[in-house]
């Protein structure tokens, strides 16, 4: 078997192991070491087994990962999600489907300080779904709105997935964060539009709630000043060139820890009791990400040695296909793969051989990064493996998986509209990065 074919077989074997519920890090690591040994001998495999794990987690740029994880965890412990939900609900809750729209909006704002889709979905599921049930919302709309809104934590910066994509491809993390802002807003608007269309056709799905006075709305806005401050410090600092992404992550994490320590309502003792739990959650999440990075590092050695990326580049260059057609094929590949894999594993598994192909086509790496994360986002709510669907079911008692699946289709259609817009209008992504500070 030629090296490229062995690389392709290794990729297929890794997918099979993941589908058989082998942990992603183990599947990539085992395949990487075994494949490298077949190509270069067991002494070579022993060498990369000793060096690759260290090299995978050693780069200074990875220090941004635990910091952004900590920022999201401590922000959730500080109770900011409830305040965000209340603030958005004060403005749109009196519309039909207003609570579902408020859920989407709160997910968007919480994603701006969390960076994790699963954490956003889990947190907002506990906050929003009981409230929607109390107001007579159908579980299909309520659960699907939370699952879809949770995906905004992957796209709206700071995003752990964008950080890892930037590190893998040596693309500016700051440019990726800024480039995701407009697509994040577009996604939020389209999800709200999906709620609006459904409740206009079937008003019983989401009845209107009480109208808030302007004084009540003002008070609700004042309760989310922490979120506005964190977002302004992190994203504003990066955009105007005041902070590097790592420095911005440290500032954001420090602010979130402070808010968690003080606690909502100034109950400092209760906030301090949350610190240990938040620190342990941060450590577990960071350890999981780094373990997958180690497995991906071993797998990447194998893929690079197999010359599979070079073979793909040569095949595309010789095929005569236009750039846009190849890009569509790549995104279709990610859409299908997203039905069976979580977003993090998908990115780490495929970028080593997909990105050289994209580079050879001359596609802007920031634009492609936002497209890939958008497609990964769609995978999070695509049956049968959409991770957000399982998260919502896990945190809400008595909720059946089929109920969420039946409500998710309009949001998937909204995602496809957004993907089409980003493909047709690249400036939606590239406008703001082109105007960043030094």
Q: Per-residue DSSP letters for 59-91?
A: -GGGGHHHHHHHHHHHHHHTTHHHHHHHHHHHH
108 contacts 102 by C-beta, under 8 angstroms: no
Interatomic CA distance for residues 366 and 372, integer angstroms? 10
Q: Which two tokens stand for residue 361?
A: 């086509």
- Tell me if the bond preceding 384 is cis, omega within 30° of 0: yes
What tokens does 149 get?
């809104």
pLDDT tens for the chain, 438 residues: list them. 788 889 889 888 988 888 788 888 898 899 999 999 999 888 888 888 888 888 888 877 788 888 888 887 887 777 677 788 888 889 988 888 999 999 999 888 887 777 677 777 877 887 788 888 888 899 899 899 988 988 887 888 888 888 889 988 989 988 999 999 999 999 999 999 999 999 999 988 989 888 899 999 998 888 888 878 888 888 888 878 888 888 888 888 888 888 877 764 444 444 566 678 888 888 888 888 888 889 888 888 888 888 887 787 788 777 778 888 889 988 888 888 877 777 787 888 888 888 888 888 889 999 999 999 998 888 888 876 677 777 787 777 677 878 888 889 999 999 999 999 999 999 999 998 988 755
Please report which residue ranges of 58-213 form alpha helices under DSSP H.
64-77, 80-92, 98-114, 117-134, 139-150, 152-155, 160-169, 173-179, 181-201
pTM of the model: 0.81
Give the CA diameter of the chain: 73
The continuous run of DSSP H or E covering 225 comes out as helix 225-231
For residue 272, what pLDDT is reported?
60
pLDDT at 208: 86
Nearest C-alpha neighbor of 187 from the set 233, 137, 120, 232: 120
Query: What distance lies between CA 183 and its chain's CA centroid?
Result: 13
Helices and strands in the chain: count of H runs, count of E runs? 24, 0
What pLDDT is recorded for position 268? Answer: 41
Handedness of CA 165, 168, 170, 173 (dihedral sign): positive
Please give the full DSSP string across 274-317, using - where no structure is assigned: HHHHHHHHHHHHHHHHHHHHHHHHHHHHHHHHHTHHHHHHHHHH
Alpha carbons 182 and 394: distance in angstroms, whole number? 31
Alpha-carbon distance of 325 to 359, in angstroms, equals: 15
Question: Which tokens go with 272?
Answer: 């301090």
How far is it, in rounded angstroms, from Cα 218 to Cα 427? 34
User: What radius of gyration, in Å, describes the C-alpha atoms of the chain?
Assistant: 22
CB of 291 closer than 8 Å to CB of 62: no
What tokens does 203 get? 């008003």
Domain boundaries, the chain: 60-287+387-435
CB 278 within 8 A of CB 77: yes
Q: Rounded to 5 degrees, what are φ and ψ at 216?
A: -65, -40
Residue 94: its H or E element: none
Question: Residue 412: its pLDDT value, please?
Answer: 92
Q: What confidence score (pLDDT) does residue 266 get? A: 40
What is the pLDDT, as a whole number, of residue 263?
Answer: 62
Spatial separation of the C-alpha atoms in residues 43 and 411, rounded to whole Å = 51
């Amino acid at each position: 078997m030629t090296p490229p074919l062995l690389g392709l077989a290794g990729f297929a074997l890794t997918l099979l192991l993941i589908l058989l519920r082998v942990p992603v890090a183990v599947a990539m690591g085992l395949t990487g070491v075994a494949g490298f040994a077949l190509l270069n001998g067991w002494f070579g495999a022993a060498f990369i087994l000793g060096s690759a794990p260290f090299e995978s987690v050693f780069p200074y740029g990875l220090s941004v990962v635990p910091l952004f994880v900590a920022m999201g965890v401590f922000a959730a412990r500080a109770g900011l999600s409830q305040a965000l939900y209340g603030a958005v609900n004060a403005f749109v809750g009196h519309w039909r489907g207003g609570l579902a729209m408020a859920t989407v909006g709160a997910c968007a704002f919480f994603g701006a300080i969390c960076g994790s889709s699963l954490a956003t979905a889990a947190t907002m599921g506990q906050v929003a779904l009981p409230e929607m049930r109390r107001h007579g919302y159908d579980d299909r709309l309520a659960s699907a709105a939370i699952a879809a809104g949770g995906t905004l934590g992957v796209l709206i910066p700071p995003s752990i997935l964008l950080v890892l994509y930037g590190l893998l491809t040596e693309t500016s993390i700051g440019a990726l964060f800024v480039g995701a802002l407009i697509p994040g807003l577009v996604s939020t608007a389209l999800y709200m539009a999906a709620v609006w269309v459904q409740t206009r056709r079937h008003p019983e799905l989401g009845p209107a709630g009480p109208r808030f006075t302007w004084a009540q709305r003002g008070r609700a806005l004042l309760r989310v000043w922490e979120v506005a401050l964190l977002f302004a410090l992190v994203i504003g600092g990066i955009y105007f060139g005041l902070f590097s992404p790592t420095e911005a992550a440290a500032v954001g994490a420090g602010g979130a820890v402070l808010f968690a320590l003080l606690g909502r309502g100034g109950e400092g003792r209760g906030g301090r009791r949350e610190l240990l739990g938040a620190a342990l959650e941060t450590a577990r999440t960071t350890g999981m990400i780094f373990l997958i990075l180690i497995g991906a590092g071993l797998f990447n050695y194998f893929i690079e040695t197999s010359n599979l990326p070079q073979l793909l580049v040569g095949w595309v260059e010789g095929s005569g296909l236009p750039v846009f057609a190849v890009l569509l094929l790549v995104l279709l590949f990610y859409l299908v793969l997203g039905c069976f894999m979580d977003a993090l594993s998908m990115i780490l598994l495929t970028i080593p051989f997909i990105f050289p192909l994209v580079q050879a086509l001359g596609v802007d790496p920031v634009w492609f990064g936002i497209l890939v994360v958008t497609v990964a986002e769609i995978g999070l709510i695509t049956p049968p493996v959409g991770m957000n669907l399982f998260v919502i079911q896990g945190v809400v008692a008595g909720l059946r998986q089929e109920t969420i699946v039946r409500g998710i289709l309009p949001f998937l259609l909204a995602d496809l509209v957004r993907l089409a817009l980003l493909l047709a209008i690249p400036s939606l992504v590239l406008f703001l990065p082109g105007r960043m500070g030094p």
